[in-house]
Structures are given as structure tokens and as C-alpha cells.
Amino acid sequence: MEHAALTDKIPVTVITGYLGAGKTTLLNRILTEQHGRRYAVIVNEFGEIGIDNDLIVGADEEVFEMNNGCICCTVRGDLIRIIEGLMRRRGKFDAIIVETTGLADPAPVAQTFFVDADVKDAAQLDAVVTVADAKWLSERLKDAPEAKTQIAFADVVILNKTDLVTPEELEETEARIRGINPYASLHRAVKANVPLNAVLERSAFDLDRILQIEPNFLVAEEHDHDHHHHHGHDHECGPECDHDHEHHAHDHHDHDHECGPECEHEHHHHDHDGHGHLKAIHDSEMQSISLRHAGEVDPERFVPWLNELVQKEGADILRCKGIVAFKNEPRRFVFQGVHMILDGDLQREWKDDEKRESRLVFIGRKLKEDAIRKGFEAAVS
């Protein structure tokens, strides 16, 4: 079979995206295409979906804060019960798709797959797929924090409705997406017409691909071309600008002054000459950090560092992922996390021709990059 299962856990795809971006269009495409797979679909809004499929289940909003008192960790009771119910019908479907409502934060959905023991035994988060509206995403990134969170969260971004924008607008929107999340694979689409294997059942190889991307290979986008689509929005500066933006009044960063997407200062991104390099527009709020260590790592030092980091900074870390080479361990340690919740395993063995190195990425809001890098270097040295 094409998708040889690595585990017998049911893969779960979470589809997210802002209101009207095209989630239902994508779902319909998945369910009507001839792929020989059977999907159970969970929708967390009451079902106006016109699909004749007895495995579509509606979910009520029911979100629990976890009893460790952490505000950024929540699980969904409704989802747990639905998945448990589906497991009793195992054999009737091959994979699960969860469609979230437009404003949903994907974190509680994703966390449910890491935290609840029964769900974790039965199912495995395969990918978060974010559908974005090519016409409106840039605007929503300015005024809707959920839209940005959904991009930051994504393993796969489908930039839908490309028929409604010019090639220049499309490039700019893509650069904004990459500035927030360089690791997601990005597909342009009209009516969500993406190859389904770009969206479904991807995890086994995705982590490797993701971790090969160096955000430094992205080129900062110039920002002095004509913005005819600026509907009178004010100039937006980054957190360190001296203007009086009270919602940006953080001063805990000690790196250079960083401006928002519209500033005309020269940014400090590496000035690659660009063959095949992708453009990225730096986001003043959400960033990603990529860490790499050539050689093996002592788990006695690495694991406590990682745990402590996500405990301390988890509220700001939306996602983290990594593949780690432990000393005296023939298998690769693979982890991923959502806010403070981490899940890691020793997986397959390193291959003979594979370089034993450790690669990690973090995506989040206002990450303390210098401190995280120093901590990592100290933990792996």
C-alpha cells in the first residue's frame, strides 16, 4: 500500500482556517474524490454540511482547562468522546478529519491528541491544515489574532481563492505566511484544488522535510512597492518602534529595533541573492527559530532543558518539533509539542548514510530567541 502505516494509530487531519476561507470546500473535495480511503469527519459546528456520510459527527463546544492550571493547555471533552465512539467503529474508516470553526484556536484540538491517554493510544495527529483566503489573509493578519495563530500552527497551508488576486498580491501574501511559519508546506489553490496527498497522511516524512528548512534561506521582502490594497490602514510598527502602540509595549527583547512589515528600514535578514529562495516578510509578533547541533546530544541534559523551556515559555510557543540524536541510542528521538505539552518517542533507527544531528524548530509569539539559542547550546555542548 502506498501509505504504509508506521503505527496502527488512526491518522487525524485537523482542518482550520478563518471564516469563509474554504474549509468546507476542501472537505467536500476530500470526501468526493476517488481515493479509496474512508474518512470519518468531525465538525465542531452543527452540521450544515450537505454530504451524505454517516460518519460525520457534530461536536458541541466543550473545552476543559487542564488541571495543572495552565491557561494555554486545554483539551476538548467532546472530541475525546467522539473519538472514543469512533474507535468502537474501527475498521469502518481509515482516517479522521476534524474541521474546526472559523475562529477556533487549533491548540485545544491538537492538545487533545497529546494528552488524553485513550485518544493518544488510538489516534495520532497527522497534520494541521490551514486554509487561507488569498484575498483577505493579509488584512486578517493585521486585525485577527486567530488568523495568525492558525498560520503559525499549520503543517500545511492551502492558499485558496488565488483566482481573486493578482500574482503580486499572491506573492506578498505568501511572503507574509513564510514570515510567520516557514516550515509549513504551502499550496496555491482555487476551490481547494490541491492534490490530496499534499494534505492527508503526511506525518511520516513531513517532520524530516520541515526540519531541513532553514528560515535564513528566506529573503526579506522589500516593502516600498505600491500597496494599492492598503485600505487606509495606519503604518504598523514592530514591538520596538518608538511610536505609541500600547499593545506593543513589550520591551523584553534586547535585539535590534525591528519594524513591522510596512517599515522601510533595511532588515537584518541574510541577503541571499535569491536563486530559488523564497521571500518572507518578517512578522513583528510571530516568529520561528530553528536550532541545529551536529552530533549527538546527552539526553540527561537535553530533555530537562526542553521540558523547562516549554514550561517557562509554553504560553508563547505555539508549536515545536524536533528530531534528536541521543548518545548511545541507535534510534531517532522525535518530538512535537503544542504550548506546554510535549510528546516524544524513540522512533526508527538512524540510517547508515544519515548524519546524526539534532534539529529543532519553535514557532511562537515574541520568542526570546537569544536566550533559547544559548540554552540549547549549553544543553548540547
Ligand X SMILES: Nc1nc2c(ncn2[C@@H]2O[C@H](COP(=O)(O)OP(=O)(O)OP(=O)(O)O)[C@@H](O)[C@H]2O)c(=O)[nH]1
* Contact residues for ligand X, defined by CB under 6 A: 17, 19-25, 102, 160-161, 163-164, 190-192
Burial of 21 (0-12, 13-18, 19+ CB in 10 A): buried
Chain mean position to CA 304:
24
- Grid coordinates in use for 70? 495552565
Give Cβ neighbours of residue 185 (< 8 Å, ≥ 6 apart): 155, 156, 157, 198, 206, 209
Of 45 and 329, the one with the shorter C-beta distance to ligand X is 45
Of 20 and 344, the one with the shorter C-beta distance to ligand X is 20
Beta carbon of residue 80, minimum distance to ligand X (angstroms, whole number): 23
The secondary structure of residue 297, as a DSSP letter, is B
Q: What number of other Cβ atoms are within 10 A of residue 222's Cβ?
A: 12
Q: Are strands 219-220 and 63-65 parallel, antiparallel or unpaired?
A: unpaired
Of 24 and 74, the one with the shorter C-beta distance to ligand X is 24
**Half-sphere exposure for 179 (CA within 13 Å, toward CB):** 25
Structural contact between residues 178 and 363, judged by C-beta atoms closer than 8 angstroms:
no
Q: Is the dihedral of CA 178, 179, 182, 184 positive or negative?
A: negative
The backbone torsions φ and ψ at residue 200, rounded to the nearest 5 degrees and listed phi first, read -105, 145
Residue with cell 492558525: 150
Beta carbon of residue 149, minimum distance to ligand X (angstroms, whole number): 15
Of 136 and 333, the one with the shorter C-beta distance to ligand X is 136
Of 21 and 119, the one with the shorter C-beta distance to ligand X is 21
Of 19 and 63, the one with the shorter C-beta distance to ligand X is 19
Q: What is d(CA 356, CA 333) in angstroms, rounded to the nearest whole number?
A: 11
* Collapsed DSSP state (helix, strand, coil) of residue 367: coil
Beta carbon of residue 192, minimum distance to ligand X (angstroms, whole number): 6
Of 24 and 290, the one with the shorter C-beta distance to ligand X is 24
Beta carbon of residue 59, minimum distance to ligand X (angstroms, whole number): 14
Beta carbon of residue 321, minimum distance to ligand X (angstroms, whole number): 26
Beta carbon of residue 18, minimum distance to ligand X (angstroms, whole number): 7
Structural contact between residues 170 and 145, judged by C-beta atoms closer than 8 angstroms:
no
- Residue 34: C-alpha distances to residues 28, 29, 31, 51, 120 (Å): 12, 10, 8, 15, 29
Strand partners, 12: 96, 125
Tell me which H or E stretch contains 158: strand 156-160
Of 44 and 111, the one with the shorter C-beta distance to ligand X is 44
Beta carbon of residue 154, minimum distance to ligand X (angstroms, whole number): 14
Of 56 and 341, the one with the shorter C-beta distance to ligand X is 56
- Taking Cα atoms as reference points, which of 227, 242, 205 lies closest to residue 334? 205
Beta carbon of residue 38, minimum distance to ligand X (angstroms, whole number): 22
Beta carbon of residue 47, minimum distance to ligand X (angstroms, whole number): 11
Q: What is d(CA 163, CA 276) in angstroms, rounded to the nearest whole number?
A: 24
